[in-house]
Structure 1
Amino acid sequence: MAKLVVPEGYRENALGHMVPVAQIREQDLLRDEVVRTLAHDAKLLSEALREFKERAMQDVEDLVRVAAEKYGAKVGGDKGNLSLVSFDGQFKVVRSMAAVITFTEELQAAKALIEACITRWSDGADARLQSLVMRAFKPNTKGELNTKAVLGLLRLEMVNFDGETDAEWAAAMDALRDSIQTSGTTTYFNVYERVGVSDKYRHVALDLAAVG
């Protein structure tokens, strides 16, 4: 469906209605200008970051290929992690390959078993432990689980008074392990700059939260 053409002297509101500019509050117009300007600039930055990542991937791949050809080697399969440092040691580029982990329906079985353990332990279990365990299954605002928190449950050891691992907890961990599924890999690029003449490097922030 073609987007409606906004007549001269009107603005389209969030409901799709045409509103005369003369009837719009000055504060609303000012807010609209600020939001639109920031959104436009953000889209340009996002596109620049996308282009940077594509160029970085290609440049590093070319560097690896040149090195391989020098020794008559063929490079294929998993690209792996790399740390590249400039000749003067001032800059460092790190390529990291991370597995994309998802969970199958067996995670629900693990959650049910863990909840049963928490209920059974409720009289004697540390409330902070209960909170830690169940927080792992709390989705974020996007409805996604915190993969690191879920996998962190595998490091917890739950033993009975006789020193043996709790059978129900062990079954929950088996279900959790079986639910883990690798669905691909994600490539990350991080750039660092050396701090003075030290052996420490400062991360060059490429996300808003880390800037300033």
Structure 2
Amino acid sequence: MEQEFYINRSGYKVPASKVSDNDKAQNALVLELVQRAKQLNAEHEHFKRGVYSQVNDFIADMAHSYNVEIGGAKGNITLTSFDGKSRVKVGVADDISFGPEILIAKELFLGVVNGLLEKLDDEAQLIKDIVMNAFETDKEGQYSKAKIMELRSKYRYSHKSDDWAAGMQAIDDAFIFGSTKTYVRFYERNELGAWIQIPLVSKSL
């Protein structure tokens, strides 16, 4: 009869007769749970790919009903049930970071703010609030990507000056786009009418 072995942490074979019953039971439990986790992860990924495919097929069919052809991947779409109580969101999110140009942008915008300090009108106060909010940092000293994006898109032409335009160009140059991630999210309305996300991954115990 062939002797059974266990592989230890150092990669060496250990005869089963030298392994305690508790270690054998723990080994079996861990391997079983990890295997199940891998299966669930594969099922999760398969489900997500199915959602993307079904949503894209739906959009293509809808476009066809208007005699329009849509090329490429579809993203950032929200689908809502007829009763308005269920929702599916699929989208694409870029992993964004900032280069050193963001510091130049900040100085340029602060220069605009400083030039408006003597003015007490609503426009001057608005510009100051926009800049201060956009470049507010968190506890780690990091800028908010969402706030910088809002400044870049919503307030791009809010002030007519060379420094403001140069600041916007510096923001454009500061963006470093990393990997692109797709996501899918599911929501239902609760009894108060608020949207509650249905997590695909369980919360911590």
Same fold (TM over 0.5): yes
The letter of the residue matching 1:34 is L
Cα deviation, residue 52, structure 1: 0.6
8 Å Cα contact 2:96/2:145 also seen in 1? no
Task: Give, in whole Å, the separation in 2 of the partners of 1:190 and 1:21.
Answer: 47
The superposition leaves residues 28-48 of structure 1 with CA deviations (integer Å, 9 ceiling, x where unpaired) of: 222212211110110000100
> Which residue of 1 is the match for residue 91 of structure 2?
96
Sequence identity of aligned pairs in percent?
A: 26
Task: Give, in whole Å, the separation in 1 of the partners of 2:140 and 2:44.
Answer: 37
Equivalent of residue 139 in structure 2, options 115, 132, 141 = 132
The letter of the residue matching 2:139 is L
Task: Give, in whole Å, the separation in 2 of the partners of 1:190 and 1:108.
Answer: 34
> Which residue of 2 is the match for residue 206 of structure 1?
200
> Which residue of 1 is the match for residue 16 of structure 2?
21
1:25-174 to structure 2, matched below 5 A, reads: 25-77=20-72, 79-102=74-97, 106-107=99-100, 132-134=139-141, 136=142, 151=145
Task: Give, in whole Å, the separation in 2 of the partners of 1:37 and 1:63.
Answer: 39
8 Å Cα contact 1:10/1:18 also seen in 2? yes
Task: Give, in whole Å, the separation in 2 of the partners of 1:66 and 1:186.
Answer: 25
Gaps of 5+ in 2: 104-135, 150-167
Task: Give, in whole Å, the separation in 2 of the partners of 1:97 and 1:68.
Answer: 20
Instruction: Note the aligned Cα RMSD (angstroms).
Output: 3.7
Instruction: Provide TM-score, normalisation by structure 2.
Output: 0.61
Q: What is the aligned length?
A: 159
Cα deviation, residue 81, structure 1: 1.6
8 Å Cα contact 2:6/2:16 also seen in 1? yes
Instruction: Provide TM-score, normalisation by structure 1.
Output: 0.59
> Which residue of 2 is the match for residue 160 of structure 1?
none
Task: Give, in whole Å, the separation in 2 of the partners of 1:130 and 1:98.
Answer: 22
Task: Give, in whole Å, the separation in 2 of the partners of 1:47 and 1:91.
Answer: 25
* Stretch deviating more after TM superposition (17-26 or 86-95): 86-95
Task: Give, in whole Å, the separation in 2 of the partners of 1:183 and 1:84.
Answer: 28
Q: What is the DSSP-based 3-state SS (H/G/I as helix, E as strand, rest coil) of the residue aligned with 1:132?
A: coil
The letter of the residue matching 2:19 is I
> Which residue of 2 is the match for residue 143 of structure 1?
none
8 Å Cα contact 1:84/1:94 also seen in 2? yes
8 Å Cα contact 2:91/2:182 also seen in 1? yes
Cα deviation, residue 73, structure 1: 1.4
Gaps of 5+ in 1: 1-6, 111-128, 137-148, 156-172
The superposition leaves residues 16-36 of structure 1 with CA deviations (integer Å, 9 ceiling, x where unpaired) of: 211112212333222212211
Task: Give, in whole Å, the separation in 1 of the partners of 2:85 and 2:101.
Answer: 49
